[in-house]
Amino acid sequence: MTTVVEGGILVLMRFLARFLLSFAILFFLFTIHHLPFTRNALAAGEFETNYKVLYDVDEKGQTKVTQEITLTNKTSNFYADKFELKIGSTKVEDVKAKDTTGPLATEAKFENNVTVITVKFNQKVIGIGKNLSWNLTYSSGELAAKSGQIWEVSIPRLAKSADISQYLATVSTPSSFGPIAFAVPEPLTSEKKGSRQLFTFNRDQLVESGIAISFGQKQVFSFTLNYHLENNNLTSQVQEIALPPDNNYQKVVIEKLDPIPLDVVVDQDNNFLAKYRLSPRAQIDITAKGYIEVFSRPFRNIYPSLSPAEKGEYLKKQKYWETDNSLVMEKAGGLKTPKEIYDFVSTYLNYNEDRLTQAKIERQGAAAAAQRPQDAICTEFTDLFIAIARAAGIPAREVEGYAYTQNERLRPLSLALYPGDVLHAWPEFWDDNLGWVQVDPTWGFTSGGLDYFGKLDFNHITFVQRGISSLAPFPAGSYKKRGSQGKDIMIQFAQELPKITAAPRLSISAPQNIIAGIPVRIKANVANTGNTSIIGESVNLSSQTLRRILNIEKPQGQTDNSIEIAVLPPYAQKSYEFNLTSKSFSGNFQDILVLSYADTTVSAPVLIVPLYSLIFLKSFLASLTGALVIIITGLFFYKKHHKKGKRAKV
């Protein structure tokens, strides 16, 4: 009995073993057969993709994109049943796809500032080395736009992918867009066919920076800026406003400044500060009108070279630029160039549009941006760049101003610190060859990786440059009346700059007679009565016979009778004093002092008289007589007091 039971158990165990083995084999085969459906259709390394893309831009800026795509299967076990294409920052419409069998089902979604196009295939690419060729088309009104006189084509950066084997992009634009101002990166080829201009780019170029092409020669804006100053003190005050300055990227023409200021000075950050005197309890409204010509790259270098001490000023820790923050210091240790810092900031931080809905947008600073990278707007992109650059030994400062944008999602303005007006902020760094170089990591991020390092665009207008202080001066738009909600900044496109006038006014204050051998002080006055700045000119005082000695501190390499003025803004004036002596102690002759500046000269005749002629001068005789009277009177009282002293002793 026992034997029968044991034998039955053995049979049952063998049956169960065979059943489990058969089930395992069936399960394995089932899994292998259905595995392609459960795997990502485009897992890295399983498929190879070749692209041939045409961006066809029409006269109105609408762009039709045609992508010829070949998908090659690199495995024998998997196939793709769908395809996903991500297009950074750009909204698209009219999405269509087809292969040799007919139309393909498509779906397009725009979320988190990214468009995702999903295409479902009609046929499967089964087998290693098998291909599927198909076309995808869509259109977008965001890839090309006209801003004033400039047409801009902006194609977002291509995401890095090991599956992309070949990628050739062609941008076709109408010849009516005008001459090309710049293209970043440099096209592989550029040609004109009929009424079209064609530019080609490869995969590496698109992965690096995307495509930015601008057409046109210049961008000109007109501006009207309103300022309000108020003195609540019981004594008079001199206050100042910041006017748009000339720099390497813009040329400023001021047609009207009402009322006229006491003076316009250039501060250490190269800002134009107009000074006004306000009586006690007084208010004043100021209007500045003019034009600004903007360039995408430095078109000149108007800045004197920074000395080591001056560079040190732009490396210091400031409020919002916490160079001693641990993360800032860590990144500064590994990021050695401005480009590396730009690339890090424009990818590390994320732009938070929700902050724009806040009643007051608080500036957080570099340390906060480093700790909360998901909560950044333009000020955080700017402050973090500056802090890391300074910590890495690269002089850097902030620019605040107006940036024209037609798409605030791709190119947002977020410096809404003052009711009624919205500004933008971006950083700049010092280059010994180029001077101050502006970059915009904010727009580099929000535009999907377009290059705002190698160039800006024609739409950034500088109001102030801040490096010595992170808080001052204040830009236009911040000088408001209490309770005012209106706009103080009005910017419009213009066709041309008005007629530029460079009109220096010079004067010399010198005595008519100069005594040989005795130093005399000559005062020279220079004022700019024109509507634009005078750049890089020198004040020179000369004569035929005088030996000149300047009693002022001079930059290295400057001659004794020459003073260089880097920038003299409209309404600005400067005074200089020269100490002069003649070459000999004798002589009786006339000379002419000549003051020159910016192709303008003024002269003053002087008479050189010998030293002994002092005795014939009425002023000298009067002075001598007065001195003798004082001496004699003093001796008289001294003797009288001395005699009284002797009597008292007796």
555 band by pLDDT with thresholds 50, 70 and 90: very low
Q: pLDDT tens across 119-165, in order?
A: 999 988 888 888 999 999 999 999 999 988 899 999 988 877 778 88
Region 243-257 average pLDDT:
97
Q: At what angle do helices 378-391 and 326-334 cross, to 10 degrees?
A: 60
How far out from the chain centre does Cα 459 lie?
A: 10
Whether residue 76 is found in the same domain as residue 199: yes
- Residue 340 tokens read as 């590396």
Give percent of the chain above pLDDT 90.
57
Cβ(591)–Cβ(606) below 8 Å: yes
b/e for 391-407, b at 16 or more Cβ within 10 A?
bbebbbbbbbbbbbbeb
Residue 71 shares a structural domain with residue 2: no
Q: Which of 221, 263, 268 is nearest to 241 (CA)?
A: 263
- Pairwise pLDDT comparison (556 vs 37), residue with the higher score: 556
Residue range 430-474, pLDDT digits in tens: 999 999 999 999 999 998 888 999 888 899 999 999 999 999 999
Asked if 548 and 639 sit in the same domain, the reply is no
Whether residues 283 and 252 share a domain: the answer is: yes
DSSP one-letter string for 558-585 = --TTEEEEEEE-TT-EEEEEEEEEES-S
**How far is the CA of 47 from the CAs of 76, 127, 206, 363, in angstroms?**
11, 11, 20, 47
| Closest alpha carbon to 565 in 520, 509, 506 | 506
- Average pLDDT estimate for 566-591: 83
How many Cα neighbours within 13 Å face the side chain of 191? 6
Which of 215, 232, 254 corresponds to the end of one domain?
A: 215
| pLDDT (tens digit per residue) in 63-93 | 999 999 999 988 888 888 888 888 877 889 9
In which band, very low, low, confident or very high, does the pLDDT at 31 lie, cut at 50, 70 and 90? very low
Residues 126 and 25 in one domain: no
> Do 494 and 528 sit in the same domain of this protein?
no
CA dist., res. 533 & res. 538, Å (int): 14
Instruction: Convert the pLDDT of each residue in 592-604 to its tens digit.
Output: 889 999 999 999 9
pLDDT of residue 616: 54
Residue 45: what pLDDT? Answer: 66
Given this model, what pLDDT does residue 77 score? 81
Pair 379, 347 in one domain: yes
Residue 11 makes CB contacts below 8 A (sequence gap 6+) with none
**Per-residue pLDDT, 587:** 62
What is the span of the domain harbouring residue 133?
A: 47-215
pLDDT digits (tens, 9 = 90+) for 362-393: 999 999 999 999 999 999 999 999 999 999 99
Tell me what the mean pLDDT of segment 352-365 comes to.
Answer: 87
- Looking at the structure, do residues 525 and 476 belong to the same domain, yes or no? no
Which pair of tokens denotes residue 162? Answer: 């090991």
Asked if 373 and 393 sit in the same domain, the reply is: yes
Least confident stretch, 215-219, 404-408, 516-520: 516-520
Q: In the sheet where 600-609 sits, what is the strand order?
A: 513-515, 600-609, 589-597, 534-542, 562-568
What integer best gives the mean pLDDT of the chain?
Answer: 85
Return d(Cα 350, Cα 89) in angstroms, integer: 13
Cis peptide before 185 (omega within 30 of 0): yes
Q: At 85, which CATH number?
A: 2.60.40.1730
Do 581 and 457 fall into the same domain? no
DSSP code for 336: -
What integer pLDDT is reported at residue 528 of this predicted model? 97
Residue 10 confidence (pLDDT): 36
For the ranges 254-263, 302-311, 609-618, the lowest mean pLDDT is seen at: 609-618
Last residue of a domain, one of 185, 215, 245: 215
If asked whether residues 523 and 627 sit together in one domain, one would say: no
Please check whether residues 397 and 490 belong to one and the same domain: yes
Domain count within the chain: 5
